Amino acid sequence: MTAFTPETALSLLRDVGNAALDLLYPPRCVICRQFGSEYLCAACLANAIAPINDPMCLRCGHPRQGTPCDHCRNRPPQYQRARAVSKYDGTMRDIVHFFKYRDKPMLAGVLAQAMAEYAVANRRALNELEFDMIVPVPMYPPKERRRGYNQARRLAEGIGRRLSICIADRSTLRRTRDAKPQMELPREARLVNVKGVYEAAASVSGLTVLLIDDVSTTGATLKECSATLKAAGAAKVYCLTLAAG
């Protein structure tokens, strides 16, 4: 279960503060700028979601030809399957950038709801939602402190509440060193960039886990995290992201 840590307390205080501000300044959708009950309205979220249909690799879940696709054939991932709610383009890309880089952690609730609904609708591809725990992709701690939150953990916590699956504590999967931002690197360099930067606890031994992140582009992060979890003894790893491509 999630431990109550100073970071958790700070997150709760920040959420309380945001709720208090909402009473004084009603939320405005980050996309259409209309006032409402959320910082991302239902209409804009629905318009932003571009489902990944055929052609789609049934292993990595990316919009690619063939199953397995060339990427999965050349570098087989350690996870069983990965799936994403939407393609990573257009308005969905804007939403992710607001969430990650423009200090909008309050988007986590509505985004986690969309991911949980997707997981239920696609449960056959996600082990019928039979998971021992949900594991968020970790950030390097100093970087997380500067940002104030880990977007993957915020999503994981929301999904866990909705699907009644416990969230792994921070020691389960840790990032032990920093690296260049993945978005700045070409595909092959991304695979090398994340090599060996994660560490998993033996507590995952024999467990089936759901790995959560916001976006999968080349899939390098999910591959490395999955390999790290499997090396620590995890029985099976499935992945779910908000967007991919």
Which pLDDT score is estimated for 1? 47
Assigned token pair, 7: 């970071």
The percent helix, strand, coil of the chain (3-state, each to 5) is 45, 15, 40
Highest CATH level, class, for 50-244: alpha beta
How large a percentage of the chain has pLDDT more than 90?
79
Using CA atoms, how far residue 210 sits from 28, 135, 214, 243, in Å, is 32, 6, 13, 16
CB atoms within 10 A of CB 206: 10
How confident is residue 193, by pLDDT bands cut at 50, 70 and 90?
confident
Q: Is the overall model pTM greater than 0.75, yes or no?
A: yes
**Angle at Cα 210 formed by Cα 40 and Cα 147, nearest 5°?**
50
Asked whether 61 and 83 are in contact (CB, 8 A), the reply is yes
